[in-house]
């Protein structure tokens, strides 16, 4: 399934459900009671950052021209295709941290043992089955959405059309009041 994760900041509750779901999805056991004892410990690939009281979920943007893919000296990072994930082949990663240095969003991290780079992979195992990424699925407020660029633009057009319609209706009502 092609798409990206989009954030509607006004809906984010800063509950950290996205982080927990992400870490759990990328754990060996996929069970919370067991995952907390895993070594290396599961790492969330989405992080909530606070900016002046506003929570902002940040994860890999899966850039079309991803600098992490370009700089990786061992070919461990790959862009799967347009509107698809940028993934890290952990078995090829040498832990050089070049990808961390060039990521413009600061979302590449190291596994808890410090040996392998990690980042959001759009929960590839889930999205290939037609499911939403774990963070999107876990978000109780709907602040995170997994959409194609086409779906996002369609939703924006609908919002804009609704706004224009409501403005036109308001203008008609105001004109009617002025006539009476």
Question: Strand pairing partners for 49?
Answer: 56
Q: Do the domains spanning 1-59+123-147 and 60-119 agree at the CATH topology level?
A: yes
Report pLDDT for 179: 77
Distance CA 30, CA 54 (A): 30
CA atoms within 13 A on the CB side of 40: 14
Output the pLDDT for position 19: 97
CB 43 within 8 A of CB 112: yes
Helix (H) / strand (E) containing 78 = strand 77-79
Residues 6+ apart with CB under 8 A from 148: 2, 3, 4, 83
Domain 60-119 has CATH 3.30.1200.10: no
At residue 97, the pLDDT reads 96
Give which of 18, 6, 19 is closest to 62, Cα–Cα: 6
Cis peptide bond upstream of 17, omega within 30: no
Question: Average pLDDT by consecutive 10-residue portion of the chain (180 residues)?
Answer: 88 96 96 93 93 92 96 97 92 96 95 90 94 97 92 91 90 76
- Name the pTM for this structure: 0.84
Residue among 28, 29, 6 at smallest CA distance from 139: 6
Q: Dihedral sign for Cα 107, 109, 112, 116, please.
A: positive
CATH number of 1-59+123-147: 3.30.70.20
- Distance from C-alpha of 26 to C-alpha of 35, rounded to nearest angstrom: 9
Domain ranges of the chain: 1-59+123-147, 60-119, 148-180
């Amino acid at each position: 399934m092609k798409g990206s994760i989009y954030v509607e900041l006004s809906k984010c509750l800063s509950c950290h459900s996205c982080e927990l779901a992400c870490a759990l999805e990328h754990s060996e056991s996929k069970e919370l009671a067991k995952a907390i004892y895993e070594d290396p410990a599961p790492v969330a690939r989405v992080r909530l950052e606070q900016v002046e009281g506003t929570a902002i979920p940040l994860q890999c943007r899966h850039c079309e021209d991803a600098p992490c893919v370009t700089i990786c000296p061992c070919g461990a990072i790959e862009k799967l295709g347009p509107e698809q994930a940028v993934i890290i082949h952990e078995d090829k990663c040498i832990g050089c941290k070049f990808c961390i240095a060039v990521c413009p969003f600061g979302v590449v991290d190291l596994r808890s043992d410090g040996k392998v780079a990690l980042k959001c992979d759009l929960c590839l195992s889930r999205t290939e089955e037609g499911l939403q990424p774990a963070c999107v699925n876990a978000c109780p407020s709907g602040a995170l959405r997994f959409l194609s660029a086409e779906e996002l633009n369609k939703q924006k057009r609908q919002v804009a059309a609704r706004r224009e319609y409501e403005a036109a209706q308001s203008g008609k009502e105001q004109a009617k009041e002025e006539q009476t």
